[in-house]
Amino acid sequence: MRKEWKQFWAQPQYWTLFVAAELIFVLVTLRLLEGWQDIPGMIFFIMAFNLLFLLYGAEQARLETKYHTPELVSSLPYAARYYGSKLLFWVSHAALWYAIFLGSLLVFLKFQLHNELSIAIVKIVISYTFYNWFVPFLVSMILGYALFTLWPSLVTYAVLVAVWILLSPYNHYVQLLPSQLFPWLAVSDVNFSITQHIYVTEHMIVNDGARWQRGLVVITAVAVYMLVIPVIRKLKVMRVLIPLLIIGIVLIPLLAPNQQISDISRGTALESNPYQSNDYEIEAYKMEIRHPRHDHAFSYTAEVSISTKSNEISFALWGTIHIDSLSWNGKQIPYTRSGNWVSLSLPKGSPGEGTLHLETSSEAYSDVNPTSFELLPTLPWYPMHPDEALDPMGHAKKERYEIKLNAKGFGGLVTNLTKGPGGTLSGETYGPMLLKARYERKGSIVRLVQYSQRTADQKWQSISKIVDKLNKQMKADVKLPQQMYVVSSWSLFSANPDAIFVTPLQISLEEKIRQTLFRQL
Amino acid sequence: MLQLTGITKRFGRREVLHEINLSVGKGIIGLLGPNGAGKTTLLRLLATVYEPTSGSIRLNEITWSNQVEEARKRIGYLPQHVGLFPALTSYEYLDYIAILRGISSGKERRERIERVLREVNLENQTTTRIRRLSGGMKQRLGIAQAIIHDPELLLVDEPTAGLDPEERLRFRGLLRRLAEERIVILSTHITEDVSMTCDRVCMMKQGSLQYFPSLSDVVKLASGKVWTVSVPVEEYHRAGERQGLQIIHAAEMDGMFRLRLLSAEKPFPDALPTEPTLEEGYMTWLKAH
């Protein structure tokens, strides 16, 4: 690998090109940034770099052909080492330019833009840029070399440009290929336009699908590289390795999650209850919640302990959550749904106490995403008593909760319940709050790291001012809950006596506060 | 001993080598043939760049099909176009090749590099970047990389093409020296290279090979077919058009042309038979095949 580096530095036409490109990056592009959250917007600059790496790979192959290197190398006993060290050189080469990019970016964010760069944010930036910058740089170089080695011709440059378009988000815009293929081809953040403002918990977070896709593209590039080099192709180990690689390349898109997040319609406000059957009380919940880490999917099983005086009961549950089974004291019972409400008739003679058993699943809950979810206690994602669902502040009632949560990253969960071993949660609260994303806490404010502390503070001040103003106007004495959570939930603004949940989006805050805290409709 | 048994090579439907059998020992052997005869293909097979379609290659106890890595350790190969890394210096290049030849000790590599650079008379170019070397120097560096590991079999493909006469002479001398300890196969279409360096020769045409244990065997092929004669200009022009007659050499002197001719029959009444050369033997063999 050292010899490859020596050759590189002895060819000023190449390193000056890279250095010049880096300088342009540092001097021009960084000026366009306003914060670390804008990094995905540099996609076109990174695409230009991908092309540079692709052409550099091809140029290396062209020079080897020109200097007849492959013929000599293939007569050497350790020829495979030559190609192995070339691969390592590319890894180190991509790493060098990536490290310079990343370093200058972090320095710029910290010292020029004065961004608050916590360890969590630096980790996000490194992970994001590694998968969306470093990997495509490396893959481009390998493919450029492999394709030119396979077909050393001027036409190959046109092929390289086609490959470049195919592997970049541009392919998505021109829609040359079926849209199902796009997430498996694009070696870049395919979600940034919707995570910037909608699914903010996923903004710059590399999901499992993206990891699998990058793995797939690296495996494919290396496999192509190994296949086009006769010396490598003829190695005995390749007889086993190549079929394995091909199986992997076929199976990954079939079995692994997709990196793309669907842009589904977000929920609407909870309408009034058409069933008017709310003469019951919920004592406790036992739930097992599952987060399968893809798109907007989650499911749970709930056992709700209820005491009722009536045979007819209703509860709130988002219409996007499908009820797979529902039973009362072990017996399946019929139910009807209307919008976000469920009504059921209990068997005759049922009044008293019993357990409602629900199994639910959803593929379209917008507050659940591949790596994150925001399950707020104020929203009927779980079977909620109608009074509390319609007015979680005024009709708040505490229940007992025992929850088993099957989700990766349980340690980072922000919750109002007490964490136990093995993903268990328990406690008595107004509703279960399960926030799984990157949050930072400062005093009474917990915010998603994608939102700045300044934004969160401003929101808190605005809410306080409006509440003070309305208290004076109405001669009321509404007190703000102690805790504020700045989240990205579509609900925009909701509250119970313990907490306010708010997004930084421009909303009519005063109207929301009137409705939620002062109960003025 | 290098043994080739029933070697054929196909590229698609085209068979470029037909059933080659050869057995040679230490010394330098020429591989002579016109362009497209299959010399480079044969050398690439010997250098393990290609695999034969059928047949086997064996060097002493090592067979190419089963022990390719061992075979490569015993081969030195100077391709027609030397694979060089122009941005490296001569020393760095040889060091890299030595590593790829499996010489892991830095001290051993240094000693070997110094020795081969001396052998090819490039000891003063150690730190010169390859792109600054002359064509002859590059060829000698190519030889240096091919002998750095003391191979048992040295394969040299068209090494003198593009060299000036002085470089060519020096190169031939170097090959002769190297052949004292190993088998050297020199592929060329220049008969002078063979006559000046080789004791034995393989002639190739259209993928077929014939072995001659002595150069004189080739020369003998033209015995009785080489003539000298002095003719006027008109006769000279007519001679060029005559079937079965090939002008080997023509020189003008006092309005007459002194010709050296290759012909099975006496071409002119006053033509005198003369001693043939290797080139004439080679031309005769080419015509016959």
Residues A517 and A413 in one domain: no
Contact predicate A73/A231, CB 8 Å: yes
A236 part of contact set with chain B, CB < 8 Å: no
Residues A302 and A397 in one domain: yes
Chains A and B form CB pairs within 8 A to the count of 72
Report d(CA B169, CA B156) in Å as an integer. 15
A74 part of contact set with chain B, CB < 8 Å: yes
pTM exceeding the 0.90 threshold for the entire prediction: no
Residue owning tokens 């001569």: B90
Q: Is ipTM > 0.90 here?
A: no
The domains found in chain B, sorted by start residue, are 2-213 (3.40.50.300), 220-288 (3.30.70)
Last residue of a domain, one of A402, A422, A437: A437
pLDDT level of residue B46 (50, 70, 90 thresholds)? very high
Minimum mean pLDDT among A131-140, A275-284, B51-60: which range? A275-284
**Pairing between strand B153-157 and B183-188?**
parallel
What's the gap between Cα A443 and its chain centre? Answer: 27
pLDDT level of residue A520 (50, 70, 90 thresholds)? low
Residues A475 and A422 in one domain: no
Last residue of a domain, one of A374, A409, A437: A437
> Which residues in chain B have Cβ-Cβ distances shorter than 8 Å to A72?
77, 79, 82-83, 145
Report d(CA A242, CA A254) in Å as an integer. 19
- Name the residue of chain B whose CA is nearest to A229's CA: B49
**DSSP assignment of A350-412, as one string?**
--EEEEEEEEEEESB-TTB-SS-EEE-TTSTTS-B-HHHHH-TTTT---EEEEEEEE-S-GGG
A75 part of contact set with chain B, CB < 8 Å: yes
Residues A313 and A300 in one domain: yes
What pLDDT is stored for residue B112 in this prediction?
94
A15 part of contact set with chain B, CB < 8 Å: no
Are the Cβ atoms of A73 and B145 closer than 8 angstroms?
Answer: no
Last residue of a domain, one of A437, A455, A476: A437
> Which residues in chain A have Cβ-Cβ distances shorter than 8 Å to B46?
none
Minimum mean pLDDT among A85-89, A176-180, A333-337, A438-442: which range? A176-180
Are the Cβ atoms of B85 and A75 closer than 8 angstroms?
Answer: no
A248-274 per-position pLDDT tens digit = 999 998 899 889 898 887 666 888 888
Residues A76 and A192 in one domain: yes
| Higher pLDDT pick, B131 / A377 | A377
For chain A, what percent of residues have pLDDT higher than 90?
Answer: 50
Mind telling me how many Å the CA of A61 is from chain B's nearest CA?
Answer: 12
Minimum mean pLDDT among A197-201, B83-87, B114-118: which range? B83-87
Residues A144 and A212 in one domain: yes
> Which residues in chain A have Cβ-Cβ distances shorter than 8 Å to B80?
68
Using CB atoms, pick whichever of A7, A77, A81 lies closest to residue B72: A77
Q: What does the pLDDT average to over B187-192?
A: 87
A305-317 per-position pLDDT tens digit = 999 888 889 999 9
Using CB atoms, pick whichever of A6, A72, A77 lies closest to residue B83: A72
Residues A198 and A65 in one domain: yes
What pLDDT is stored for residue A46 in this prediction?
87
> Which residues in chain A have Cβ-Cβ distances shorter than 8 Å to B151?
none
What pLDDT is stored for residue A185 in this prediction?
87
What pLDDT is stored for residue A290 in this prediction?
96
Note the residue count of chain B. Answer: 289
Residues A9 and A29 in one domain: yes
Report d(CA A275, CA A343) in Å as an integer. 7
Average pLDDT over chain A, rounded to an integer: 89
The secondary structure element, H or E, covering residue B37 is: none
Are the Cβ atoms of A81 and B73 closer than 8 angstroms?
Answer: no
A27 part of contact set with chain B, CB < 8 Å: no
Q: What does the pLDDT average to over A29-57?
A: 86
Residues A27 and A169 in one domain: yes
Residues A333 and A234 in one domain: no
Q: Which of A146, A120, A180, A128 is nearest to A54 (CA)?
A: A146
Domain assignment of residue A144, given as a range: 2-255
The yes-or-no verdict on residue A65 having pLDDT over 70 is yes
Minimum mean pLDDT among A392-406, B141-155, B227-241: which range? B227-241
What pLDDT is stored for residue A297 in this prediction?
92
Interface test with A, best of B81, B85, B129 (most A CBs within 10 A): B85
Residues A238 and A272 in one domain: no
What pLDDT is stored for residue B245 in this prediction?
84
| Token reading at A495 | 């509250």
Number of domains observed in the structure of chain A: 3
Q: Which residues of B touch A (CB under 8 A)?
A: 44, 47-49, 51, 69-70, 72-73, 75, 77, 79-88, 92, 95-97, 99-102, 129, 145
Q: What does the pLDDT average to over A97-118?
A: 86
Kindly tell me the burial class for residue A213, based on how many C-beta atoms sit within 10 Å of its own C-beta (0-12, 13-18, 19 or more). buried
Are the Cβ atoms of A73 and B101 closer than 8 angstroms?
Answer: no
Q: Which of A149, A69, A71 is nearest to B44 (CA)?
A: A71
- Name the residue of chain B whose CA is nearest to A78's CA: B100
What pLDDT is stored for residue A89 in this prediction?
94
> Which residues in chain B have Cβ-Cβ distances shorter than 8 Å to A74?
48-49
Q: What does the pLDDT average to over B90-114?
A: 92
Residues A243 and A97 in one domain: yes
Q: Which of A117, A57, A45, A116 is nearest to A86 (CA)?
A: A57
CATH number at residue A410: 2.60.40.1730
Contact predicate B184/B196, CB 8 Å: no
The yes-or-no verdict on residue A521 having pLDDT over 60 is no
Are the Cβ atoms of B83 and A6 closer than 8 angstroms?
Answer: no
Minimum mean pLDDT among A171-180, B171-180, B209-218: which range? A171-180
pLDDT level of residue A183 (50, 70, 90 thresholds)? confident
- Name the residue of chain B whose CA is nearest to A7's CA: B87
Mind telling me how many Å the CA of B46 is from chain A's nearest CA?
Answer: 9
